[in-house]
Amino acid sequence: MNLKQQQYINGEWVDAQSGKKRSIINPYNQEVIAEVPEGDEKDARAAIAAAREAFDEGDWSWTPASERGELVTKIGHLIERDQEELAYLESLDTGKTMEESRGDMEDIAGVFRYYGELADKEGGELIDAPVKDSISKVVREPVGVCGQITPWNYPLLQASWKLAPALAAGNTLVMKPSEITPLTTIKVFELMEEVGIPASVVNLVLGSGATVGAELSSHDDVDLISFTGGIATGKKIMQSASGNVKNLALELGGKNPNIIFADADFETAVDQALNGVFFHAGQICSAGTRLIVDEAIHDDFVNALVERVKNFKLGSGFEQDTQMGPLISAEHLSKVEAYVEAGVKEGASLVVGGRRPEDPELQQGFFYLPTIFTNCTTDMTVVQEEGFGPVITVEKFRSEKEAVTLANDSIYGLAGGVWTMDIAKAERCAARMRMGTVWINDFNLYFPHAPWGGFKQSGIGRELGRPGLEEYTETKHIFHNLKPEPIHWF
């Protein structure tokens, strides 16, 4: 494997100060695919110190935005150049199919290009002032040192949503990828070194959330924490970040409703309902795991889902006909199993799946069959909690109002979908759904120009779009009196 397999701190590739290593495994067969440093608080502190000095004493934040943008754009070009290698590493590390990983790399390159082009387009604005002969302007400046913590399900995609805007805005940073899927993040740090991002502007520390993540969250020299992950960890980060009142950008997952009205395009809705959950084995924060189906078509819709699910091909992400790969780890597989067991105990009807596959070729991997529950109600654990696996729950509704009420009955508010051919009904539902993104006659579509984030306990702030850049800036008002005169008050 042509990969450094080290941390990147203060412009150097280094091992952990403790000398500890972590084995990275392929979730398809549990083979060890890499040995990387297991960093801890000491490594995090060294990286924070480097980023702090680079911001306070270096030239990066003062570099013209157009020059920063050119470098960020070049990273996108190198990702395109190395797309096949990056996709291979991502599939090896996460178990997802090569087709999925190639698509991720195309999206990631697009994110870097977008923010590279946007870097010099946010120059501030002049505003009117109630004082004659004055200049009043509002400018945006970089926040400072940014701690960035990314999840295991979309390692490099989520990293790109943080790296690209942070660099375009002129910040320095320390990134901690998930300890179980760090390979493509290591590779993109190699690419950032190749394009000439100044030493210590970007720093990479490998290790657990309990050590490296906690240090980033609590350290007073970190000005912003951007985290993508679960609610429990997000709440801990909020508490830790209160020490120096850090800026926060949190994406904390979702339990996303997908409303299917009787007048929807039936075949397309079935197809997209399946894709909205079983793509990457349901390990997607925006997965449409709550199907809310019109009573008039409920039985036919469920039957269509079940028949399609029975024919899914599970297997290695490197086999061309594989439709769904494994879950990420033994620990996560156990969590999904417990989640399904809770659904059965609470009275939901298990109509397909609900167990590990029997295929001998899949026994070494962390596979779980695509699963569908019916007769679900909003008081059930499987309806309310984010299982983060290949599991669909199905609820019935009789009216538009009931559908929206069910959809909003959640502590989450990340995303949701509405399927209907009635334009007015679709727009009414979208307006009333308390979510950061609502898709109409589509699901799980995103692109760099559109902001991403959630309502309620799905998080704070936005990634992507112009708001994604603004997260990495502070707003400053500068008032310049061109003809100062005494006030004669005293």
Q: How far apart are CA 468 and CA 459, in angstroms?
A: 14
Q: How far apart are CA 356 and CA 342, in angstroms?
A: 16
Q: How far apart are CA 5 and CA 28, in angstroms?
A: 21
Strand partners for 225: 147, 248
Which member of 251, 386, 395, 463 is catalytic?
251
Q: How far apart are CA 424 and CA 430, in angstroms?
A: 10
- Residues 112, 164: contact at Cβ < 8 Å? yes
Q: What are phi and psi of 37, to 5 degrees?
A: -60, 145
Which member of 285, 386, 395, 400 is catalytic?
285
Strand partners for 437: 415
Residues ≥6 apart with Cβ < 8 Å to 102: 83, 84, 87
Beta strands (DSSP E) in 88-196 are: 125-126, 134-142, 145-149, 172-176
- The yes-or-no answer on residue 285 being catalytic is yes
Packed helices 98-118 and 155-168: angle between N→C axes, nearest 10 degrees: 10
Residues ≥6 apart with Cβ < 8 Å to 42: 17, 18
- The yes-or-no answer on residue 100 being catalytic is no
Q: How far apart are CA 99 and CA 87, in angstroms?
A: 8
Q: How far apart are CA 193 and CA 201, in angstroms?
A: 10
- Residues 125, 137: contact at Cβ < 8 Å? yes
Q: How far apart are CA 62 and CA 40, in angstroms?
A: 31
| Residue located via tokens 């959809």 | 407
Report DSSP state, residue 214.
H
Residue type, 480: H
Q: How far apart are CA 85 and CA 187, in angstroms?
A: 9
3-state secondary structure of 111: helix
Report the catalytic residues: 251, 285
